[in-house]
Amino acid sequence: MGYVQVLRGGLLESRHKVHAAVVNSDGKLIASLGDPHFSSFLRSSAKPFQALSLIPHLEQLGLGSEHLAIAMASHNGEPIHVATVTDLQTKADVKPEWLVCGTHQPFSASARAALRAANQKPNVLQHNCSGKHSGMLAACLAKGLPTTGYALPDHPHQLEIASDIRSLMETDNLEIAVDGCSVPCYRVPLERVALGMTRFAAPETAPKTYQSRLEFAFNAMREHPYLIAGEQRIDTDLMQQVPNLISKIGAEAFMVLAVRDAKHGNLGIAMKIEDGTERARDIAMLRILEQLGIVAQDNAQLSDYRRTVLKNHARLEIGEIKPEFNLERH
């Protein structure tokens, strides 16, 4: 079993169970934590898969790799993110009022402060999924599909996305519900998700119709890591610090990565904190990457994700959150 522990005065107070699967490009499970077949919703970790159906239409729409990146993002709502979503919408003739994701406060503290200073409420473009929704609508326009109902599971575009996920994860065990932003979300065993992520690490192992799209998506995330998330976010920091890696978090403490040319080959990694506590997610994933030899244990740039110091209201250091596990090798 693998846990992230919450310690107070050096004594265990709470712990969060970690499940993970690490799969190589041969489709072999090479390492795991907990139950590698644990089923959970990908949430926003599905975005690289959901954007694949947009890629064939990028040139037609006048869009580039930066627009694909924002379509795969759970962005902070910083000015650069809003500007890129706006540019995508302008080029593809998508109207902001078509988006059904709703609104929330930007993830970025500086963006929230700017709204307060201007006495403004957040808008739909600052929603972390605004790029995904804009990309889905752009694809619908390019394919001549209706934009009305684009987020419903029986819409032709959503049916295509579900088919892509089934094909790349080689599974019929695809359970569908509604995500926080109103599009379908998918519940899949971790080992199948990790297999799907190996397709980004080694596109040549995927069905031929997907290979160029997987390569383009991988490169777009590598070229535009800041668009994928933003300041003080693990996805951006990992992609900026670690070569040949793409990373995508999801709500309820889900996370996926694809890594090329790692010590153990081309890998896909899927991880879930069972109780959904996100304070454990980044810490657990960094420990996994260190144990796989993908991140050096003395990497100072990623030290904020190695453990969390706990302080009380008087700013006294009273404990820490840290991982306590070793990967099981297969």
CATH number of the domain at 265, please.
3.40.710
Nearest residue to 26 via CA among 198, 261, 262? 198
How far apart are the two ends of the chain, measured CA to CA in Å?
Answer: 15
Residue 327's alpha-carbon distances to 28, 40, 91, 285, 290, in angstroms, are 15, 20, 46, 11, 10
pLDDT attached to residue 133: 98
Nearest residue to 90 via CA among 68, 127, 62, 124? 62
Question: What per-residue string of b and e applies to 224-243 under the rule 16 or more CB within 10 Å gives b?
Answer: bbbbbbbeebbbbbbbeebe
176, 184 contact by CB (below 8 A):
yes
pLDDT attached to residue 309: 96
pLDDT attached to residue 262: 83
pLDDT attached to residue 263: 87
Query: β-strand 328-329 against 29-33: which pairing, if any?
Result: antiparallel
Two structure tokens written together for 79? 């000015």
21, 29 contact by CB (below 8 A):
yes
**Burial class, 36, CB count within 10 angstroms (exposed 0-12 / middle 13-18 / buried 19+):** buried
Domain that holds residue 246: 2-329
Provide block-wise average pLDDT over 10 residues at a time, the chain (330 residues). 96 98 97 98 98 98 98 98 98 98 96 95 97 98 98 98 98 95 98 98 98 98 98 98 97 98 93 98 98 94 95 97 96
Query: β-strand 11-24 against 308-311: which pairing, if any?
Result: unpaired
pLDDT attached to residue 173: 84
| Angle (CA) 25 247 78, round 5° | 160
Radius of gyration of the chain from its Cα atoms, rounded to whole angstroms: 19
Q: How many residues does the chain have?
A: 330
Q: Please state, as a whole number, how many other Cβ atoms lie within 10 Å of the Cβ of residue 34.
A: 21
Give the CA count within 13 Å in the CB-facing half-sphere of 237: 17
Nearest residue to 67 via CA among 46, 45, 94? 94
122, 103 contact by CB (below 8 A):
yes
Number of domains in the chain: 1
Nearest residue to 202 via CA among 191, 218, 223, 188? 218
Question: What per-residue string of b and e applies to 303-312 under the rule 16 or more CB within 10 Å gives b?
Answer: eebbbbebee
Q: Please state, as a whole number, how many other Cβ atoms lie within 10 Å of the Cβ of residue 185.
A: 23
